[in-house]
Amino acid sequence: MIHKLILSNRHPLGWRLFFFLTLVMCCTSQGIFAHQTPSTIVLLDVNPKAVSVELQLPLGELELAFGHEITKDPEHLIEKFGSQLKEYLLAHIHPMTEKNKPWIVEVTNMIVGKAEQTGSGQYQEITVQLVLIPPTGESTRKFIFDYDVIMHQLVTHSALVSIRSDWELGQTNKEPVKAGVIRVDTQSSLIYPLEINLEKGGNWWTGFKGMFFLGMEHIREGTDHLLFLLVLLLPAPLVIKRKQWGNFGGTKYSIMRLLKIVTAFTIGHSVTLLIGASGWVNLPVKPVEILIAVSILISAIHAIYPIFPNKEVYVAAGFGLVHGLAFATVLSVLNLDAGVMALSILSFNIGIEIMQMFVVILIIPWLILLSQTPVYKWVRVVWALLAGIASLAWISERVFEKPNKISILIQNNYGLAPWGIFMLALFSLTIFGGHYWIKRKKNTNQSTIS
């Protein structure tokens, strides 16, 4: 009857109903495209002995499948339903090598927070950490991921699975690699497991190299770490005279002091890198990052006025402990087991030291040359002032968790550092050459007069 009314040109009610239904369909379709339901994000960290998993589950969808009201009071969700939720997850996650070789699944942590996906806007989610342990002798690089959390009840839901880190391939957690999508098959109404196969390539040597280059990259991109060390090295070639920075102390004196400072910093951050990455000490990231910025500010003040004369070695070691905790966060998020973690700490630290020494070797000769000229006083002060401004910008950014113009400027232009070293070298050669020529000419004139 409605069908006939809609198609009839002569019945006014038909046209009204037609326009009403069209309007409803348009509004509904717009709502669907404007507010897509968020998917589950599954991130895998593949290690030689286990696979760590991070599930990012949207609470609204989870509530429909879980059968309990968890969206009304998300702050107390884990307290109220933690054990039941754990049982639910274990009932719907079944990794296996084969059907007769199931893996052990352990839920290690659950945290509720806010999230956002493209097209879905902001929503509440629960992040679940799991560990998948294969049977003895079985590889973690090839397994069947039988998973139907939420989608066993909500057929429109899907899980986006990615490899976040793969130690044996040297892949870190920067850009997850898509492994596949788990969803309900529309034709069969079944949920097919996802096969994970990483057997092509990858070994312990590749993993070692990956961590080595990760350490080098962390220093290359760690502007604050290098700036602290370089500012602390600024007055190293100078001697103390009347509680002020005096003249050049000699090449041997300068090199020995520079080496002692670099070595002390290395020992300091190596100790806390080992402690932090191994999980023996777990400090919040924010205070550590603020302390790193403070260390730069103190070093900048010391480069202008000696606030801890002849104590640079101890300061470098002390603040090195703080910087090491920041280095440790890079490895701790990879969820490595003890044996792999030990090898990773070694290779990561070697990468840090080689990159650090490479930068220091590139800069030290020019500091030694400049420190023999009167111009070095102004170079030292200006460099220290710029470092102090940068440290204050980083302190502000890390305290208020909001970037500022200076921190953004540094972030956008740190790639120009090689050109800065080149300009420093050119400037040093020019100034030292001019100073040497003037000094030699003066000595020649004095000899002629004599």
Report the C-alpha gap between 338 and 279 in whole angstroms.
10
Q: Is the pLDDT of residue 173 over 80?
A: no
Q: Judge if 215 and 345 occupy the same domain.
A: yes
Domain boundary among 170, 201, 232: 201
Q: So what's the pLDDT on residue 283?
A: 75
Both 79 and 45 in one domain: the answer is yes
Task: Between 210 and 290, name the one with better pLDDT.
Answer: 290
Q: Determine the average pLDDT of the residues in 420-445.
A: 82
Q: pLDDT per residue over 46-76, tens digit each? A: 988 899 999 999 999 999 999 899 998 888 9
Domain that holds residue 209: 205-446
Asked whether residue 296 is assigned to any structural domain, the reply reads yes
Residue 210 sits in the same domain as residue 107:
no
**Given this model, what pLDDT does residue 23 score?**
44
Band the pLDDT of 448: cuts 50, 70, 90. Answer: low
Is 77 within a domain? yes
pLDDT of residue 114: 87
In a domain, 242, yes or no: yes
Average pLDDT, the chain: 85
Q: What is the pLDDT of residues 367-384, one digit of tens each?
A: 899 999 989 999 999 999
pLDDT in tens, 233-269: 899 899 988 889 988 888 899 889 989 999 999 999 9
Tell me: pLDDT of 415 over 50. Answer: yes
Shared-domain flag, residues 238 and 185: no
pTM over 0.85: no
Any domain includes 7: no
- The CA distance from 95 to 103, in Å, is 6
Q: Quote the CA–CA distance of 420 and 362 in Å, as a whole number.
A: 11
Amino acid at 275: I
Clarify whether residues 52 and 132 are in a common domain.
yes
pLDDT in tens, 23-39: 444 444 444 344 467 89
Residue with tokens 């020992």: 267
Domain co-membership, 170 together with 212: no
Last residue of a domain, which of 147, 182, 201? 201
- Do 212 and 185 share a domain, yes or no? no
* Separation between Cα atoms, residue 418 and residue 148, nearest integer Å: 51
| Whether residues 185 and 258 fall in one domain | no
Question: In terms of DSSP bridges, do strands 158-166 and 177-183 run parallel, antiparallel, or are they unpaired?
Answer: antiparallel
Q: Quick check: 236 and 261 in contact, CB under 8 A? A: yes
Q: What's at 58, amino acid-wise?
A: P
130 and 261 belong to one structural domain: no
Q: Tell me, yes or no, whether 195 lies in a domain.
A: yes
Q: Answer with the residue of higher pLDDT: 5 or 317.
A: 317
Q: Are residues 284 and 424 in the same domain?
A: yes
- Do 209 and 63 fall within a single domain? no
Q: What is the pLDDT of residue 300?
A: 95
Query: Which stretch of 299-308, 393-402, 434-443 has the lowest confidence by average pLDDT?
Result: 434-443
Token couple for 192: 């097919």
- The answer on 192 and 62 residing in a single domain is yes
| Domain total of the chain | 2
- Domain contains 363: yes
Q: How far apart are CA 164 and CA 53, in angstroms?
A: 9
